[in-house]
C-alpha cells in the first residue's frame, strides 16, 4: 500500500522531519534514522495522526528521551512521535486542588522534574534521581530501582491507544510490576502523580544520596541504555536476582564485540565506544544471552527496547 505524506500529515499541528537521525538522539548515540519524525503541538494532533496511521496501516513508535532504546542501523519506517513540544512539557502543581498532587505532560524530562520537586519540598520522586528520560518513557518502562519505581507515585495517565482512543486510566488498574505493566500499546500523553510535602533539605539529601549511589555503582558517563537485561527471578527463592552479578559470574565483564562492551564497572551495562554500531550491541546482547544460558543456566530477558525497520514494537 502506498501512503502519501499529505494524507498522513496534512493539516495537523506538528513539526515534521524526514530522514531524521534518531539513533543519535538516544543515549547509546548510535543507530539509524527514522523515515519520518514528528513533534506534535497538541493532543488533538497526536490523536488524529494515530487514527490516520491506523487507517493506512502505518506503524507508529514513540520516542521519549531515548535512554532505554537501541535503533537498528537500518533505521525505522512509519512514524516516530516525539513529545518534545512545550505542550507536553508542562507541569502543574496541586492538580485537582490536592496539595502534593501534580499533573505533567509525558514529555517532561525526569532530571528536570526531580530537581523541580526537590526545590519545592515535594517528596516522592527521589527514587528517580539519576534515571534519564521522560515521564512517558518512565511510565512505559515502570523505571526505578532499589528505592522504588515510577508506579509508586503514579495516580492516573491519559493514554491514547493505537486504535485512536483516548482514556484516563487509573494506575491501580494497569498491573504495574517490575519494569513492566499491562499498559496497552499506545502513547502516554499526560499523567498525574501523588507527592507529599516535606522539608526541601531532607528531599534534597535523599536525592543526593541516591544519585551518589548510582554514580558510584554505574557507568553513568558512558554511552549506554542503563541495564541491558531485566533481573531474572531465582527459581529457588522466587526473588529477583542481579543480572549484572550473573553476567559477571559468567566471566563476561569487559567482553567486547566491535565498539560495544560489557562494562567493567557494572556487568549489566553495555557501553559503546566511538565507532560502535547498533549491530555490535545486538550481537553482544545475543552473545551474553547465549553464554549466560550455557554457563549459568539462566535465561536473560532484554530490558532495552530495540527498534528495527518492519518491526513495529
Ligand atoms: C545512564 C543510565 C542509567 C539508567 N538507570 C536506570 C535505572 O536506574 N532504572 C531504570 O528503570 N532505568 C534506568 N535507565 C533506563 C532509562 O532511563 C529508563 O528506562 C527510562 O524510563 C527511559 O525513558 P525514555 O523517555 O528515555 O524512553 P525511551 O528510551 O525513549 O523509550 C523506552 C520505551 O518507552 C516508550 N515510550 C517513551 N515515551 C512514551 C510515551 N510518551 N508513551 C508511550 N510509550 C513511550 C518507547 O516507545 C519505548 O518502548 C538508565 C539509562 C541510562 C542511560
Quote the pLDDT of residue 311: 83
Beta carbon of 106 within 6 Å of any ligand 1 atom: yes
| Ligand 1 probe mutation, 25, 131, 307, most atoms within 8 A of CB | 131
Q: Based on the residue annotation, tell me whether 179 is a catalytic residue of this protein.
A: yes
Neighbours of 275 (CB within 10 A): 9
Q: Is residue 182 part of a domain?
A: yes
7 CA distance to ligand 1 middle (Å): 31
Grade residue 110 by pLDDT with cuts at 50, 70 and 90.
very high
Beta carbon of 138 within 6 Å of any ligand 1 atom: yes
Nearest residue (CA) to ligand 1, atom 9: 144
Q: Is 231 in the same domain as 295?
A: yes
Q: For position 30, which CATH number holds?
A: 3.30.43.10
pLDDT in tens, 48-72: 999 999 999 999 999 999 999 999 9
Q: Is 145 in the same domain as 157?
A: yes
Q: Is 33 in the same domain as 76?
A: yes
**Is residue 278 scored above 70 in pLDDT?**
yes
Report residue 198 as a C-alpha cell. Answer: 516535606
What's the pTM value of the predicted model, to 2 decimals?
A: 0.96
Q: Based on the residue annotation, tell me whether 53 is a catalytic residue of this protein.
A: no
Nearest residue (CA) to ligand 1, atom 49: 305
Grade residue 101 by pLDDT with cuts at 50, 70 and 90.
confident
Nearest residue (CA) to ligand 1, atom 34: 137
**Is residue 1 scored above 60 in pLDDT?**
no
Point out the domain boundary residue: 201, 216, 231.
216
63 CA distance to ligand 1 middle (Å): 9
Q: Based on the residue annotation, tell me whether 272 is a catalytic residue of this protein.
A: no
- Which residue range is the domain that position 275 belongs to? 219-307
Q: Which residues contact 70 (CB under 8 A, 6 or more apart)?
A: 26, 28, 30, 31, 225, 278, 281, 282, 304, 305, 306, 307
The mean pLDDT of 15-41, rounded to a whole number, is: 98
**Is residue 312 scored above 90 in pLDDT?**
no
pLDDT in tens, 218-275: 999 999 999 999 999 999 999 999 999 999 999 999 999 999 999 999 999 999 999 9
Grade residue 97 by pLDDT with cuts at 50, 70 and 90.
low
Q: Which of ligand 1's atoms lies nearest the C-alpha of 138? A: 21
Q: Is 197 in the same domain as 286?
A: no
| Ligand 1 probe mutation, 226, 228, 243, 305, most atoms within 8 A of CB | 226
Mean pLDDT across the chain: 95
Percent of the chain topping pLDDT 90: 94
Catalytic entry in 61, 153, 179, 289: 179
Q: For position 293, which CATH number holds?
A: 3.90.78.10
Beta carbon of 71 within 6 Å of any ligand 1 atom: no
**Is residue 190 scored above 90 in pLDDT?**
yes
Q: Is 169 in the same domain as 195?
A: yes
Contact 168, 160 (CB under 8 A): no
Q: Is residue 2 part of a domain?
A: no
Contact 279, 43 (CB under 8 A): no
Rg (CA), the chain: 20
Q: Which of ligand 1's atoms lies nearest the C-alpha of 136? A: 41
Q: Is residue 163 part of a domain?
A: yes
Size of the chain, expressed as the number of residues it contains: 313
Quote the pLDDT of residue 96: 66
Domain count, the chain: 3
180 CA distance to ligand 1 middle (Å): 12
Q: Is 106 in the same domain as 186?
A: yes
Q: ∠ CA(136), CA(108), CA(127), 5° rounding?
A: 75
Q: Is residue 247 part of a domain?
A: yes
Q: Is 255 helix (H, G, I), strand (E, B) or coil?
A: coil
Amino acid at each position: 500500500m502506498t501512503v502519501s505524506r499529505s494524507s498522513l500529515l496534512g493539516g495537523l499541528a506538528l513539526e515534521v522531519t524526514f530522514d531524521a537521525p534518531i539513533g543519535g538522539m538516544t543515549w547509546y548515540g548510535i543507530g539509524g534514522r527514522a523515515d519520518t519524525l514528528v513533534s506534535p503541538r497538541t493532543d488533538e494532533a497526536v490523536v488524529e495522526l494515530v487514527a490516520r496511521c491506523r487507517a493506512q496501516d502505518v506503524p507508529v513508535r514513540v520516542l521519549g528521551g531515548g535512554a532505554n532504546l537501541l535503533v537498528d542501523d537500518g533505521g525505522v519506517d512509519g512514524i516516530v512521535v516525539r513529545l518534545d513540544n512545550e505542550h507536553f512539557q508542562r507541569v502543574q502543581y496541586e492538580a485537582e486542588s490536592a496539595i502534593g498532587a501534580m499533573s505533567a505532560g509525558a514529555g517532561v524530562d525526569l532530571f528536570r522534574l526531580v530537581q523541580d520537586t526537590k526545590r519545592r519540598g515535594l517528596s516522592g520522586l527521589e527514587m528517580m534521581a539519576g534515571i534519564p528520560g521522560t515521564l512517558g518513557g518512565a511510565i512505559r518502562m515502570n523505571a526505578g530501582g532499589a528505592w522504588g519505581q515510577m508506579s509508586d507515585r503514579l495516580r492516573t495517565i491519559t493514554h491514547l491507544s493505537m486504535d485512536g482512543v483516548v482514556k484516563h486510566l487509573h494506575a491501580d488498574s494497569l498491573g504495574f510490576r517490575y519494569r513492566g505493566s499491562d499498559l496497552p500499546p499506545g502513547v502516554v500523553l499526560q499523567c498525574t502523580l501523588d507527592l507529599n510535602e516535606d522539608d526541601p533539605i531532607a528531599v534534597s539529601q535523599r536525592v543526593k544520596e541516591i544519585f551518589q549511589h548510582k554514580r558510584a555503582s554505574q557507568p553513568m558517563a558512558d554511552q549506554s541504555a542503563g541495564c541491558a537485561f531485566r533481573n531474572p527471578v531465582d527459581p529457588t527463592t522466587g526473588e529477583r536476582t542481579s543480572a549484572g552479578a550473573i553476567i559477571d559470574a559468567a566471566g563476561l565483564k569487559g567482553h567486547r564485540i566491535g565498539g560495544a562492551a560489557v562494562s567493567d564497572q557494572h556487568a549489566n551495562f553495555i557501553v559503546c565506544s566511538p565507532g560502535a554500531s547498533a549491530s555490535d550491541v545486538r550481537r553482544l546482547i545475543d552473545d551474553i544471552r547465549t553464554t549466560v544460558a550455557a554457563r549459568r543456566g539462566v535465561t536473560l530477558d532484554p530490558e532495552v527496547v530495540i527498534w528495527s525497520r518492519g518491526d513495529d514494537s
